[in-house]
Amino acid sequence: MLHKNIIQIREESLAGQVGRQWELEFPTATITVRELIAGRVREEVRAYNEKAGKLFVGLVAPSDAERTLSGYRMKKYRWVNAEKQVEIAIRAFGSNGFFLLLGDRQLEELDEVIIIEGDTIVSFIKLTPIVGG
């Protein structure tokens, strides 16, 4: 049986309340924190760009978006550049804009390795809104 390299992604508040949850698949069983962040952001941007809507749901808010309960409302649809959003997310991680928990362990370095197993759960906890491109 072929094992898929799937991570359960959770958004959590500082109080531990779990918000949005979903799965993210990777091509290998080991990734770095940098690859995890980039994979998440690219997937969120891909989903937004494909549906061409006004609501962006993601880690990094596009710069002209207004925060809502379910995401960020764009004034009008525009294509979002995934690589620019990835750069902003990587910088935000480095400046403590959010932190990551792998189970009960905090991931602190971009080059830290994550081994994807059948029940790998990573929580993203934002400390401040992250606004970008």
Domain positions in the chain are 5-132
On the CB side of 31, CA atoms within 13 Å amount to 22
Residue 78: the pLDDT is: 87
pLDDT tens digits along 26-36: 999 999 999 99
The rounded distance, in Å, linking the Cα atoms of 56 and 47 is 9
SS3 for 33?
helix
Task: Return the CATH architecture of domain 5-132.
Answer: Roll (3.10)
Q: How far from the centroid of its chain's Cα atoms is residue 130's Cα? A: 11
The rounded distance, in Å, linking the Cα atoms of 4 and 34 is 20
Residue 2: the pLDDT is: 57
Count of Cβ atoms closer than 10 Å to residue 58 Cβ: 21
Q: What percent of the chain has pLDDT over 90?
A: 65
